[in-house]
Amino acid sequence: MAEAYRFRVNQHGPAGSPVREAFVPGDPRPGWVRLELRAMALNHLDLWTTFGLPGYPLPLPLTPGCDGAGVVAAMGEGTVLPPGVEPGGSVMIAPGLSCGVCPACLRGDDMLCPAYGVVGHASDGTAATHVLVPAANLLPIPGNWSFEQAAAFPLVFLTAWEMLVHKAALRPGETVLVWGGGSGVGSAAIQLVKALGAQAIAVVGSEAKAIRCWELGAEHVIVRGDLKALSAKVRELTGKRGVDVVFEHTGAATWGTSLAVCTRGGRIVTCGATTGRETSFDLRMLFAKQLQIRGSYMGRREHLWTLLSLLQRNSTNPPFRPVIDKVFDLAEYPEAQLHLEAGQGFGKVVCRIS
């Protein structure tokens, strides 16, 4: 049997600082399973886990990694598996963890659970050969998908669906400005906007990324430069009206522009702050334009089953797919973190586990 190993954040530090260690995979308790992982995908949350978040102590030492796919290697006593999942079967992981019994969980809003956490942030994650997760967090992998594709799917598509459908209530014919169209969540959002009958205006950092966004179905793509010029371009593309929805996940650097380009009665949904967490704005713009601002973090686990059903109904011509930028070996996980931090790729960074 090959050596079981994982990468650990023993103390917070720069990207690439998690260290490799051998370990003995534990046995799953009732209701849980042990997966033998075949692939894991990185998210910016891996970087925040490594850097540390002021005011949010994490249970160090900790194995990062929110997304993963593999096979069911062991089950806790009395564990019942979700539909389509079998012992030894191929699965991907829904990354959100919740108690399952509080009022929020019982009504389906598991991401509002007081005990809510994310695999690889609140518990040991997928930068490892094996991981323990609740059986309720397993989903079957579409038949024609690789483990790498499956690992790249859950977190970004769950986040984008929650933002567009559940928070923004996107309607056919509306226009959405997608910041960071070349990111994992941005590339997911562009595809979902199109699948929902709306139009995406994507913002990217280079011409090469612009071409990829058009291929994913963006109606217009703007290569980011001066933000005042970008705002004017959005107004031009929308007949001076502005966009109905802003898909915001970059934070302080773009917040003022997001407010400026949103039409009267429009919606801004935000899930991230990669360029800074603190910002200020003129409240008069908020109430005079009658804007709605919604925060979003992850999403209902049931949304992943909805997305799976959409894929199964359209298996020959799927309306969306995970976009993979580069595949590393798990042994190169620190290098994969550095590649993600550099921000030069398009889509998800994945590690294959031999």
Q: Is the omega angle on the peptide bond into residue 154 within 30 degrees of 0, that is, cis? A: no
What's the DSSP call for residue 62? Answer: B
CA nearest to 191, candidates 79, 96, 320, 289: 320
| Mean pLDDT for the chain overall | 96
Rounded Cα–Cα distance for residues 294 and 304 (Å)? 21
Strands 220-223 and 199-204, sheet pairing: parallel
pLDDT digit string, tens, across residues 71-118: 999 999 999 999 999 999 999 999 999 999 999 999 999 999 999 999
Give all domains of the chain, ordered by start, each with its CATH number.
5-153+322-352 (3.90.180.10), 158-295 (3.90.180.10)
Q: Is the pLDDT of residue 270 over 80?
A: yes
Q: Is the pLDDT of residue 162 over 80?
A: yes
CA 329, 32, 92, 246 dihedral sign is negative
pLDDT digit string, tens, across residues 344-354: 999 999 999 98
Single pTM value for the model: 0.96
